[in-house]
Structure 1
Amino acid sequence: MLSGRLALVTGGGSGIGRAVCQVMAREGARVVAADLNEASAKETAALLASAEHVGVPLDVTSEESVAAVVRGVRDRYGAPADCVVNSAGINDDSFLVNMIAAQFMKVLDVNLKGTFLVTKLSTNAMIDAKIDGSVVNIASIVGKVSSIGTCNYSASKAGVEAFTRTAAKELGRKGIRCNAILPGFIDTPMVAAMPEKVMKLLVPLIVLGRPGRPEEVAELAAFLASDRASYMTGASVEVTGGYGI
């Protein structure tokens, strides 16, 4: 499905990002796993069991760091990545009345600004190289069906979804598709850190009765990045097990 493609996956050191790397490698893509935690990124690359896959450090909030990775991919492989998955994300939950501005902005910087920077610089590289490409942004169902204590996270993920639609309109004429995935509660380190009492309240609201698996999101990311989704752009696809319906 992705034979001959070159994928850049942010947040590739764990959770959904690592699963995306694994599925894309299985489907034939060369994979660059990028993560703020360099050791985790390299661990992901090692799991892919081929020297054509690499793990690199990346701070998505830094334009200089993003530019260095985009440039490094082009230098290493002789071409820019033509599949980009923005999976890097954080949360820092607190009730609105207690949240400080720095706490709010930290989450927006990673989740929304980071998606902007990686999308901008990676698609500019595609345009310069005159190649078609695909961007998949990991948003969240929480950006659509809000949850208490997550005003920063909800705002950032709603922003990612809106950003994706605008990017799709602007980049479509350049041969670049942009789509978003809205995962529900997926078995990742972020969800694992949620209090058990909260999960006990949430699971009954999931129609399928369980949290999702990272690979269940990754399979969709690989599809959206591939030519099998060649007529999809600007879409937001939910992977929630029925949460919120």
Structure 2
Amino acid sequence: MALRKAVFVTGAGSGIGRAIAQKYAHEGWFVALADVNEKGMEETVAGMPGGFSYSHKLDVSDREAWDEALRIAARAAGGRIDCVVNNAGISLGGALEEYTLEEIDRIIAVNFAGVVYGAQAALPWLKETAPGSTLINTASAAALHGMANQSLYGATKAAVRSLTESLDAEWAVHGIRVRSLMPSFIDTPLLQNPPNRTRNVKIRDTVVEAGLEFTAVEVVADTAYAAMSSEQTHHLVGKTARKLSFIAKWMPGTLKKRARLLAQAHDKVSGR
């Protein structure tokens, strides 16, 4: 009897990570959840079929912790990991001069270094289940073109996009696919936070003021599952992401105007 396939999902305590974990579970996979939010992971598991999951508290910016988490997850899954979803991330917005040093270091550590650490730690496990194993990195439509008040967030996601392309080329020899998800605005708990410590307006309020649409987390989860069997490296998620991609390629001037509109909306809801 073939072993049940196993996926390891970071940021699985809420939002996109929760939706992806639940999608794989309902498709019959063993799901290993990782997050710093243990209560959130419990809530994720409550929406999954019972008996085929494992939860591990993990700070993705800790390289050594990655090795331990994957080793224990693989043991719980019966000795294999077929897919790793590098999804954990944090948001940071506002003008660059508003960021504290701690905020700058943290977003780079989680959104980029954490993805690099996850990829490096996952490689030996994915080699064992190749060909057909997959690394999925959550980038963002913010990687398509820089937007006002998203300088570091967009930069980390652009770095994830580039890393995905490089690793897809490097790991092809092993039979491992590397894919990115590039969603636009997703109505997750991240958007309920202010963009940085100097502001008290939720990120979500700025998105609404700018007239931008939200994409359901379930759409991202479905895209992640489909990405494993796709030859396409990057996967745009939602109408806004597809529009941004088209405009960035064919009408960059229009995209610059849109970036300024978002900046104005940010200032308006912040009372500036």
Query: What TM-score bracket applies, with the shorter chain setting the length?
Result: 0.7 to 0.9
Matched length: 232
Q: CA deviation at 1:130?
A: 5.5
Aligned to 1:67: 67
| 8 Å Cα contact 1:85-1:138 kept in structure 2 | yes
Distance in 2 (CA, whole Å) between partners of 1:212 and 1:196 is 13
Structure 2 residue matching 1:72: 3-state secondary structure:
helix
Distance in 1 (CA, whole Å) between partners of 2:62 and 2:97 is 29
Determine which structure has more spread, i.e. the larger CA radius of gyration. 2
Distance in 2 (CA, whole Å) between partners of 1:56 and 1:200 is 35
Root mean square deviation, CA, Å: 1.8
Q: 1:80 to 1:196 in 2, by over 3 A?
A: closer
Distance in 2 (CA, whole Å) between partners of 1:200 and 1:94 is 16
Share of identical aligned residues, percent? 28
| 8 Å Cα contact 1:80-1:122 kept in structure 2 | no
| 8 Å Cα contact 1:211-1:241 kept in structure 2 | no
Distance in 2 (CA, whole Å) between partners of 1:221 and 1:77 is 20
Show structure 1 runs of 5+ residues with no match: none
| 8 Å Cα contact 2:29-2:52 kept in structure 1 | no
Q: CA deviation at 1:68?
A: 0.8
Q: CA deviation at 1:39?
A: 2.1
Aligned to 1:131: 130
Counterpart amino acid of 1:215? E
Distance in 1 (CA, whole Å) between partners of 2:170 and 2:178 is 10
Aligned to 1:109: 109
Q: 1:214 to 1:163 in 2, by over 3 A?
A: same
| 8 Å Cα contact 1:134-1:178 kept in structure 2 | yes
Task: Tell me whether 32-41 or 90-99 shows the greater mean CA deviation.
Answer: 90-99
Does residue 198 (structure 1) correspond to residue 201 (structure 2)? The answer is no
Residue of 213, 219, 222 corresponding to 1:219: 222
Q: CA deviation at 1:197?
A: 4.5
Show structure 2 runs of 5+ residues with no match: 194-201, 248-272
Distance in 1 (CA, whole Å) between partners of 2:25 and 2:43 is 14
Counterpart amino acid of 1:238? L
Distance in 2 (CA, whole Å) between partners of 1:182 and 1:196 is 18
| 8 Å Cα contact 1:43-1:55 kept in structure 2 | no
Counterpart amino acid of 2:40? S
Deviation per CA, 1:186-224: give whole Å up to 9, x if none.
Answer: 111112333455123333xx4xxx311001111000111
| 8 Å Cα contact 1:105-1:152 kept in structure 2 | no
Aligned to 1:86: 86
